[in-house]
A and B are shown apart, each in its own frame.
Chain A
């Protein structure tokens, strides 16, 4: 499924893509964005943190991660897949209960009130 190169992609290797205005995001919910052929799930957490993960739920194969419930596990921001509720870290992309299963994470930033992600 995922490869290290995808998981640890950095902005230096790619270019920033504008995804939406920051104001379009709702705290503790995600949106899906199409960046090239990649589907990216973008999340805004309660404390203002921004995270980008692959939108594909590795357990079901459906592109639905952006529709999961955002919360915390032991203080770490997480999202639960809406399909079968596996919980993934927004920071590392790793499944909390099964760390061998990882979804890609992408660099994300706010530039002039616009949210940008970088997909290598």
Chain B
């Protein structure tokens, strides 16, 4: 078919979906002189399958139907049963024959239904046609819940539809994440958070064993590969598609090993009179399941039929869509030599760029929750990056990419960059909230907030949230980077996401993040160089350069024998002792070279580090509780000991203090703590965000009357959410006050799992608990760690001569230092 078609040329199209429609529409528009006959097995003409879900939201089938060009003969509700290539005739299942000069196969695909028992029960569906949707809608009327098998793009569409029909909706996905073909693990986690926040239940890593009927013989539950059961009166299979190539197979056309009718670049099959387009075609070894490439194939085939030479050279499968209200985009490659990630778990935004090994060329990207990089960067795929990768993802850091004024920055509210810029200039806005109030940008899904921040920065507003000159990122952002990228060293982090070699601000932050995520002993390898002096010597520095020692006394409960050991150690090393506010004993005045010997004695007696030196859990203070107290209603001391042992060693943005009171009289002062627990007749009340210090604050009631096991679960979540998202040196009180949505938001996250991260938070805490080791015991058993505990590297036995004590109230005290000529 290299010459123009003659009058009377007969084109027969088998299948009438969007690709077939595009083909005949194209032929008609170009004045095809022959006859066109289309066989469709559905009773209606082609319709917009991409917008299928809108049918359930009220659009009529007519609305969705594509207009049929004049002069095309439609044979609808007919199924083609065979192709006679010798006589160039197709035959329908009713025995009608239709001769052709050119045959186009556009038979599309069929949803893959895994061969599980019960898959044919009434109540089981696929999600492909308007008839399918009618049947699902009918079945939904008598079901309370539904399950979608498959968490890909179409599966989420189907889930959205079930949710729209008022069903409690589950998604079962064999892979480890939703939309595995569009997003990676990190993006999948964020996407899952969004989906779960809508009330859908996601089961990843889960297959289907069977669909079981209820007493009425209809599908009643899905049995998972793990043997669990999901009650569901509606089951929708959406686990991928299979090209419908049976006709081609039966008439001897070449098909791919895994299905699909083999075509050349002109969309021609192994028979020169037969073309194949759309989801049934295997073009360049690929079956395309997206509308865009299928349309291109149809246009190429139409051009060839018209005597042209167009060819299909493969297609960009970049995707940008909004499913369940969540923007998801994927463009270019899904891997690369280097990648850079931005993750905001609070806003639910995940963005990742893949770049070449020299970080100069953009290879591709993944976006969840905010597809702005797709819009700005798609034109740059395969080309030089318009800025450094991190700048492109972290717009606040001074991105260099030029976004024009007419570009839409907030798609929810249709606000352009120019509008925001003008508002910032004219109203003198100084922060994101101002921009939101003034323009409505960022008020709906919030995904453009980083862009708003960037526009503010471009307008000369200081929106600095960077940690220090070495990192233009907040602590929470660094935490997510370290978590998602699996970074274990400061060197890698600063090389990839920062500049210079760090300082006393960022290094302890990174040390804390690494410790929160469990990277071994804090003095292991390079980590040792990140530690503040207190963590470096596992003790608290005092004004004369000596250190204090605080053994852990869980819950403030201590045996007489242990009390005696503390007394003996203090006496033998000449230390000053004082009872602390956290119900333990501080031993002060130890020189750095004395610390190992002091701790050898303490460890031998069963003591361990109290982490008084760390931004970490300090103590869980308690009253004696119901065991002794005539007013107590619960065993507060027992709970305090258990909690202190559970959370000991947990590194956090700032110190963490806790207390447990055994009754409402509150003798343990729990409401002044980061987390405080007060016993009730029915269980425990949990208060969070209390503080003493500069700005005293009573803790807020988070949740009431919990049994102990649930209480622990909520505290796990609360602490890990704080550890992940708080700023450097931000106590829980300021953190809660700074949370957008405040205490209600915190409740939603840790009680209702609104971000879908609770399982992660709990798992992270479990890892912490399981990996805890006493830092001091590990130090005194490791000669390499002990090397640092010397007064002078060249005179390890000589005490620092400048450290001198005098006596006051029968104990030592440092001799005051005279500072000459120094402005303090």
Contacts and interface: CB of A to CB of B under 8 A. Distances in A.
User: Are both chains from one complex?
Assistant: yes
Contacts of B470: 71-72
Chain A interface bracket (under 10, 10 to 19, 20 to 34, 35 or more): 35 or more
- In the A-B complex, list the 4 residue pairs whose CB atoms are closest, starting with the nearest: A82-B533, A61-B817, A80-B504, A62-B545
Contacts of B533: 64, 67-69, 82
Nearest to A60: B543
B307 to A, nearest CB: 67
A61 B542 CA distance: 12
A63 B802 CA distance: 7
Nearest to B533: A82
Interface stretch (B436-444, B602-610, B790-798): B790-798
Contact of A34 (B507, B798, B822): B798
B544 interface: yes
B429 interface: no
A29 B529 contact: yes
Contacts of A85: 504
A27 to B, nearest CB: 6
Interface stretch (B178-186, B495-503, B677-685, B748-756): B495-503
B822 A32 contact: no
B596 to A, nearest CB: 16
Contacts of B506: 71
A70 interface: yes
Interface string B786-824: 011011111100101010000000000000011111111
A59 B541 CA distance: 15
Interface in A49-83: 56, 58-64, 67-75, 77-78, 80, 82-83
A10 interface: no
Interface in A87-120: 87, 98, 100-101
23 contacts: A1-B822, A18-B794, A19-B794, A24-B787, A31-B792, A32-B791, A46-B491, A56-B802, A60-B817, A61-B818, A62-B802, A63-B545, A63-B802, A64-B541, A67-B541, A70-B501, A71-B500, A72-B470, A83-B541, A83-B543, A85-B504, A100-B823, A101-B822
Contacts of A32: 791-793, 800
B792 A33 contact: yes
A26 interface: yes
Which of B504, B530, B823 counts the most chain A CB atoms within 10 A? Answer: B504
B537 A67 contact: yes
Contacts of B528: 26, 29
A9 interface: no
A42 B820 CA distance: 24
Contacts of B820: 1
A39 interface: yes
B822 A58 contact: yes
Nearest to A25: B793
A34 B501 CA distance: 28
Given A26-B528, A34-B798, A69 B508 contact: yes
Contact of B824 (A33, A59, A70): A59
A34 B794 contact: yes
B501 A31 contact: no
Interface in A1-55: 1, 18-20, 24, 26-29, 31-35, 39, 42, 45-46
B798 A82 contact: no
B654 interface: no
A45 to B, nearest CB: 7
A20 B818 CA distance: 31
A113 B491 CA distance: 25
Given A32-B791, A72-B470, A45 B501 contact: yes
Given A73-B469, A98-B823, A31 B502 contact: no
Interface string B574-596: 00000000000000000010000
